[in-house]
Structure 1
């Protein structure tokens, strides 16, 4: 079991397990994961807002529920937010999985904090420039690529660590 919950040193010098709240890396993971999920829920609420504002719904029963009309269809404001949310679905779950695995690699606290918070900033800015404040490219592409590069780096680091420690380390 000690292998699974490998030890690291916390801020005050005590040795703690990877998946404990006393581990500053795991605390960072919990904070970033929570904020990313809340950001995604924010996009859901923004989609609902634009549907109501523009009276454009996804199904006939939704138009009847509102009472004052509306139509089934799409609207550019709704679709823009939906695409931002879809992009989150393509990137954030992968980050949540690989970043948790990254905690077991045994890297410095500063690296975890930098990569995790940078991913949070990149994804938040991506949503802002995609769904709220439309800024011409390459703003959105830069934010997307930064998040993608972080995911790729984390994945590669975990892969190499797993290969050399798991297979060649025996």
Structure 2
């Protein structure tokens, strides 16, 4: 049996009290799937750079999102605005590094990683670049077996985003499903 205590601080629940010995699971194989934002990372990673570097851009982001522009396109354009204001990819990464992981998740990822026959994956509508940089910062990249998320690349010190694309279909919509959003 696994017992994980959830604490309530009046806001979002947080994982507390997980010790390696608490996770004595006996099974042939274990697959643990996580979201990233508001799960492993204690915030929406897409918004953190704007909250920390240029809060005035948040109004534009929210307005465009409410107007029906896809979230990934909105964030891509807003990252372009940060670039035009002189912020580089490293400024953005440092803003992300200053934000915490959700309490208990570092220990959880390490503990599950130590289990024989356990795999951990992240499926998230954040982006691969933010996720990998944050996991690297906390020395957790080796605990995760795969990450499925939106595409992000750095060109000329500017971060470019595009929606996740399923490599087996080369479709911008995962699995060619009309019900799935472009950003997972």
TM-score in terms of structure 1 length = 0.26
Which structure exhibits the higher relative contact order, with contacts defined as CA atoms closer than 8 Å and separated by 6 or more residues? 2
More helix by share: 1
TM-score of the aligned structures, taking structure 2 as reference length: 0.25
